[in-house]
Amino acid sequence: MAEELRGLGVGRKLKSIIAAAAVGLLAGCQTAPATKVVEASKPVPAAHELPYRWTQGAAPQAYKDMVATFGRTWLKPGEYLWASSIPAEGDTRIVLDLLTQTGYVYRGDKLIGATSISSAKRGMVTPLGFWSILEKRPFYRSKKYDNAPMPWMQRIDEYGIALHGGGTPGYPESHGCVHLPMKFAEKLYSLTKIGSKVVIEG
């Protein structure tokens, strides 16, 4: 009888330990930083379901506009969409979504393009916030990273972060710049000017 009671005590302790561990795991899941990129190969969940660290609503709205304009819910790595006609008037505006690795370009209020992108890899930073194009060059080489080519370069900050043609494998891989498919980068370059607005959310 004494042995059975001791066994029950051990069983209760074991159950308590397992329960405490489970609670800890669940708490860890709820408080983990929301930095995981949503897979580009799958339809994107509704905006309110995505774990944005910072958004002013531009990226979720741009996603809705892509669905309405192009009838697409996702893009493959390296893929982009471009409207058959571009409004002659209106400012060009760029929205970048680091969470879904997708970029959007507007002319006035009309979405005219959407693209897969690649932003900063782990340990590097693509800064969130409101930016403007400060410098444009059809071809440039990085002063920081081994003279790396930066075709259709459009710089947005004082530290060298830029939008330019580069690899878009479906996940973040850059040193901080935003890589665009080459043809998309060229088309975008032709529409922007110094001062064109860029918002980066994620």
Distance CA 74, CA 143 (A): 34
- Shared domain for 92 and 176, answered yes or no, is yes
* Burial class of residue 184 (count of CB atoms within 10 Å of its CB; 0-12, 13-18, 19+): buried
Residues 23 and 99 in one domain: no
Cα 199 to Cα 98: distance, rounded to the nearest angstrom: 11
Could you read off the pLDDT of 155-193 as tens digits, one per residue? 999 999 999 999 999 999 999 999 999 999 999 999 999
Residue 96 shares a structural domain with residue 172: yes
Looking at the structure, tell me whether residues 22 and 110 fall in a common domain: no
Residues 136 and 84 occupy one common structural domain: yes
Q: What is the tens place of the pLDDT at every residue in 75-84?
A: 999 999 999 9
The CATH number given to whatever domain includes residue 57 is 2.40.440.10
Parent domain of 85:
47-201
Contacts of 193 (CB under 8 A, 6+ apart): 92, 133, 136
List helix spans (H) across the chain: 2-31, 58-70, 182-191
Q: Quick check: 14 pLDDT over 70?
A: no
pLDDT band, very low/low/confident/very high, at 143 (cuts 50, 70, 90): confident
Tokens of 138: 């059809």
**23 and 69 belong to one structural domain:** no
Query: What total of structural domains would you count in the chain?
Result: 2
